[in-house]
């Protein structure tokens, strides 16, 4: 969420930044398709909890090549984040759903 937070900061305090770069982030809001995907994830978290969601979703953050070459790293990260509180994950998804278009920033 760093890019989204940086954009909000730039919008609120435009004179405080000389520039801003986004990596793996976007100034665009979610598409309707992405919003639907996030809502399905939220429902999954409500129904099954954080650990199953993290076990299902974290490996998708990596390429097949990386997962095959470094399975221990994927497993370590999955285990580390499985203890997230459901409320924290739900708040994250809610914030992402509501994030505005900041392309003008």
pTM confidence score: 0.80
pLDDT in tens, 4-18: 899 999 999 999 999
Which of 46, 7, 40 has its CA nearest to residue 23?
7
User: Which residues does 49 contact at the CB level (< 8 Å), separation at least 6?
Assistant: 86
pLDDT in tens, 25-47: 899 999 999 999 999 999 999 99
Contact call for residues 21 and 42 (beta carbons, < 8 A): no
What would the two tokens of residue 84 be? 């997230």
């Amino acid at each position: 969420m760093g890019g989204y937070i940086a954009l909000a900061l730039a919008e609120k305090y435009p004179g405080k930044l000389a520039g801003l770069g986004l990596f793996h982030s976007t100034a665009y809001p979610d598409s309707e398709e992405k919003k639907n995907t996030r809502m399905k994830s939220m429902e999954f978290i409500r129904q099954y909890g954080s650990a199953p969601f993290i076990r299902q979703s974290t490996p998708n953050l990596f390429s097949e090549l990386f997962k095959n070459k470094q399975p221990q790293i994927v497993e370590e990260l999955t285990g580390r984040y499985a203890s997230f509180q459901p409320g924290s994950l739900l708040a994250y998804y809610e914030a992402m759903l509501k994030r505005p278009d900041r392309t003008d920033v």
